[in-house]
A and B are shown apart, each in its own frame.
Chain A
């Protein structure tokens, strides 16, 4: 606790800061060390989608049927309207409706 151990708190801060900054800058730095060929280029292009998919997947698994409906609604809106705000609204609305309906 900070109240009883200020020295520890101020030891914890730089430790956390460095750990997180290392990951923030590390990926960028590491990929700069290697020459980017055609394969790596394609991989980097696919990365954003992969990162998003890996963020959504646990939510889908944990959230059950409600989450599936919400994500499906958001995806359908995105495909139809190409507007991310509309997609978010649709997802939240469907999630609220599904919860309200007792799913």
Chain B
């Protein structure tokens, strides 16, 4: 469980570095739910998300997750008698941890399939929370705007404003005066810059 939490936090941290928002990271953890594969995908996140790039990433994900093929197969003797309308949704929550716990539970004479489902649900929650925790603890330490592109951040990137330079200044500002003042200064200084850059077709300086 601590190991799981550490991995979740690592994912959250990498997500910040890659410019994901908290919601993006949590959504990715919640739908992909691929554990280590998520980390690897994130580290090799393609520059441009074309269809071949996405297909390649999916293939890599499947390859890394292929251990689940064997793990799933070993669940068949136990869960094979369950109705498939129940078992296939539950398999979404299959991880090494609840599989291992279920195997132990079975070896000790247990047979209630709810054990597998309950363990999976707990692990799912831990994964989500640890992703958010990793994101948060890195985000607090990192430059505010660069790594948390809200509406202003997205606008700046599209407009080609040097977000990194602003972020360095803003981060000092944020540390010194707190969030309320900081947001005010973003609105006063960065947002007009975005607007100006867009109007005059400014170059993309931040890449």
Contact = CB atoms under 8 A, between A and B. Distances in A.
Given A13-B31, A16-B32, A24-B92, A8 B49 contact: yes
Contact of A1 (B18, B27, B31, B72): B18
B125 interface: no
A24 B179 CA distance: 43
A52 B94 CA distance: 16
A48 interface: yes
B48 A2 contact: no
A31 to B, nearest CB: 4
Interface residues of A, number: 41
A24 B18 contact: no
Interface string A1-38: 11111011101111111111111111111111000100
B15 to A, nearest CB: 9
Given A3-B154, A12-B57, A47-B73, A24 B21 contact: no
A53 to B, nearest CB: 12
A62 interface: no
A27 B33 contact: no
Contact of B49 (A11, A24, A29, A48): A11
Interface stretch (B6-14, B63-71, B131-139, B167-175): B63-71
Contacts of A16: 28, 31-32, 34, 37-38, 41, 57-58, 61
Contacts of A30: 69, 73
A57 to B, nearest CB: 13
Contacts of B20: 1-2
A101 interface: no
Interface of A: 1-5, 7-9, 11-32, 36, 41, 44, 47-48, 50-52, 54-55, 84
Interface of B: 18-21, 24, 27-28, 31-34, 37-38, 41, 45, 48-51, 54-55, 57-59, 61-62, 65-77, 79-80, 87-88, 91-92, 94, 96, 100, 103-104, 149, 153-154, 157-158
* A-B interface, 10 closest residue pairs, ranked by CB to CB distance from nearest: A8-B49, A27-B72, A27-B69, A28-B72, A47-B74, A16-B32, A15-B58, A19-B62, A31-B73, A27-B73
